[in-house]
Amino acid sequence: MTQQARARLVLGNWKMHGSLAENELLLAALRAADTNSSSQIGVCVPFPYMAQAAQALQGSAVSWGAQDVSAHEKGAYTGEVSAAMLKDFACRWVLAGHSERRAYHGETDQTVADKARAALQSGLTPVVCVGETLNEHEAGQTLAVIRRQLTPVLALGADAVARMVLAYEPIWAIGSGRSATPEQAQDVHAAIRAELAALGTPQVQVLYGGSVKAANAASLFAMADIDGALVGGAALVAEEFLRIAAA
Q: Catalytic residues, which ones?
A: 98, 169
Helix (H, G, I), strand (E, B), or coil: what is residue 213?
Answer: coil
Q: How far is CA 218 from the centre of its chain?
A: 18
Contact, 58 vs 92, CB < 8 A? no
Minimum CB distance to ligand 13P smaller for 193 or for 209: 209
Minimum CB distance to ligand 13P smaller for 157 or for 175: 175
User: Does 209 interact with ligand 13P (rule: CB under 6 A)?
Assistant: yes
Closest Cα partner for 122 from 73, 68, 55, 53? 73
User: Does 174 interact with ligand 13P (rule: CB under 6 A)?
Assistant: yes
Cross-strand partners of 168: 130, 208
x/- mask, ligand 13P, residues 12-31, rule CB under 6 A, reads -x------------------
Which parts of 77-136 interact with ligand 13P (CB under 6 A)?
Answer: 98
Cross-strand partners of 63: 42
User: Does 212 interact with ligand 13P (rule: CB under 6 A)?
Assistant: yes
User: Does 230 interact with ligand 13P (rule: CB under 6 A)?
Assistant: yes
State the minimum distance, in angstroms, from the CB of residue 78 to ligand 13P. Answer: 26
Minimum CB distance to ligand 13P smaller for 67 or for 199: 67
Q: Are strands 206-209 and 39-44 parallel, antiparallel or unpaired?
A: unpaired
Classify burial at 42, counting beta carbons within 10 Å of its beta carbon; exposed 0-12, middle 13-18, buried 19 or more: buried
User: Does 149 interact with ligand 13P (rule: CB under 6 A)?
Assistant: no
Helix (H, G, I), strand (E, B), or coil: what is residue 3?
Answer: helix
Stretch that binds ligand 13P, among 103-111, 114-122, 155-163, 168-176 (CB under 6 A): 168-176
Stretch that binds ligand 13P, among 26-34, 133-141, 147-155, 224-232 (CB under 6 A): 224-232
E strand or H helix at 231, and its extent? strand 228-231
What is the rounded CA–CA span in Å between residue 205 and residue 6?
Answer: 7
User: Does 220 interact with ligand 13P (rule: CB under 6 A)?
Assistant: no
For the chain, count helices (H), then strands (E).
11, 8
Identify the residue among 232, 241, 245, 247 touching ligand 13P (CB under 6 A).
232
Residue 140: which residues within 8 A CB-CB, separation 6 or more? none
User: Does 169 interact with ligand 13P (rule: CB under 6 A)?
Assistant: yes
Stretch that binds ligand 13P, among 26-34, 105-113, 116-124, 203-211 (CB under 6 A): 203-211
Binding site for ligand 13P (CB under 6 A): 13, 98, 169, 174-175, 209-212, 230-234
